[in-house]
Amino acid sequence: MLRKTLVGLTLGLLAATQTLATTLVVGDQSYNTRTVMEAAGVLDDLPYQLDWKQFTAGSPVAEALNVGSLDLGLLGDAPPLFLGALGAPIKVVGISRQSLDGVAVLVLGDSSIRSLADLQGKTVAIWKGSWSQQLALSALDRAGVPRDRVSFRYLNALDASHALEGGSVDAIATWEPYVTQAQRHGARVLTTAEDLIPAQSFVVASQRALDDAAKHRAIGDFLQRLQRARTWANADPAHTARYARAWAERTRADAAIAQAWFARARTSIGPVTPAAIAQAQRTVDFFAGEGLVKGYDASRLFYDGFGTSLAPLAQTAQR
């Protein structure tokens, strides 16, 4: 009995030592995840090292995961779903949700466009292979507006915002923080992503990291800490404000816009679920229909091994 106890203690100490020596390389976008975790104080006493890599968009995060230079990445659904069609060695290990009010089709406040039907004969800025394209086309289809009656300009989110302000396009389909920024300058919402597209975000791990026992444990721990941080940020307006100030200071952004964005988004993190996989399949099928990706069974891209580590997403975050 004593021998078994000593062996168990030795194995436990060995696992702890391996974890302490582990470095988890995490791909973040514009310091958002790092800032909320630091503001919430959940990165204290980490049993492993964190090496943050910052990106300005989701596609390079996905590519870094694909080539193995990241262990974990946080990004929107389209880039990893596109890579999934190619059999990339990555897995979605967590689901991030935000208010779908922050993904919207916008026009200027004084525009004569009052409905989606009014977009006929107009120019709309979208970005291929993104929520922007999926929202704009899904909204037109639901409204019965023929796609060939609308002109599209393919602009990234920042350029699209400038084009709307400058009057070179009539409407844009975009996401946060550009929705909040535009609304603060008087832009109007024609429609949001509500009941139109899933607009999920993913926490994605490289297969190599998942196959490493120490990194697997570290990923599970990281997800729990991230969930606590998001819960903290949503629990009190003062917490949201602290998070917004810290992020704005780090990125030199407008703190008021950041606070309005974070308060509306109420971003939360939860486990992989059948519902999340089904919504991912909808997105794959949409882009396959546009000829941008080969259709496939999206479930093969998901790993639900951290389901016991994460509490289910709150109903309010699943809008």
Q: What average pLDDT score do residues 300-311 get? A: 90
Confidence check: pLDDT of 303 > 50? yes
Class of CATH domain 2-98+199-318: alpha beta
**Segment among 193-197, 212-216, 259-263, 310-314 with least mean pLDDT:** 310-314
Examine the pLDDT at 1 and tell me if it is beyond 80.
no
Burial of 93 (0-12, 13-18, 19+ CB in 10 A): buried
Position 13 pLDDT exceeds 50: no
What fold, for 101-192? Answer: D-Maltodextrin-Binding Protein; domain 2 (3.40.190)
Assign 319 a pLDDT band (cuts: 50, 70, 90). Answer: very low
Q: What is the pLDDT of residue 309?
A: 78
What was the pLDDT predicted at 315?
42
Q: pLDDT tens for residues 244-278?
A: 999 999 999 999 999 999 999 999 999 999 999 99
Tokens of 260: 């309005």
Q: How far apart are CA 172 and CA 108, in angstroms?
A: 10
CA atoms within 13 A on the CB side of 235: 9
What's the pLDDT tens digit per position in 69-120? 999 999 999 999 999 999 999 999 999 999 999 999 999 999 999 999 999 9
CA gap 258, 241 in Å, rounded: 9
Are the beta carbons of 61 and 75 closer than 8 angstroms? yes
Q: Can you give the pLDDT at residue 61?
A: 96
What are the C-alpha distances in Å from 163 to residues 124, 126, 159, 171? Answer: 10, 11, 6, 9
**pLDDT over 50 at 68, yes or no:** yes
**How many C-beta atoms surround the C-beta of residue 173 within 10 A?**
29
In this prediction, residue 241 carries a pLDDT of 97
The residue among 16 and 207 whose pLDDT is bigger is 207
Residue 115: which region, alpha, beta or left (left: phi > 0; alpha: psi -120 to 50)?
beta
Indicate whether 204 pLDDT > 50: yes
The DSSP secondary-structure symbol of 71 reads: S
Give the pLDDT mean for 147-166. 96
Instruction: Indicate the average pLDDT of the chain.
Output: 92
The torsion region of residue 144 among left (phi > 0), alpha (psi -120 to 50) and beta comes to left
Average pLDDT value for residue range 283-294: 96
- Residues 207-225, mean pLDDT to the nearest whole number: 97
Q: Where in the chain is the domain with CATH 3.40.190.10?
A: 2-98+199-318, 101-192
Task: Specify the pLDDT at position 317.
Answer: 41
pLDDT band at 20 (very low <50, low <70, confident <90, very high): low
Percent of the chain with pLDDT over 70: 92
pLDDT in tens, 157-191: 999 999 999 999 999 999 999 999 999 999 999 99
Residue 11 has pLDDT above 80, yes or no: no
pLDDT at 280: 97
pLDDT of residue 308: 82
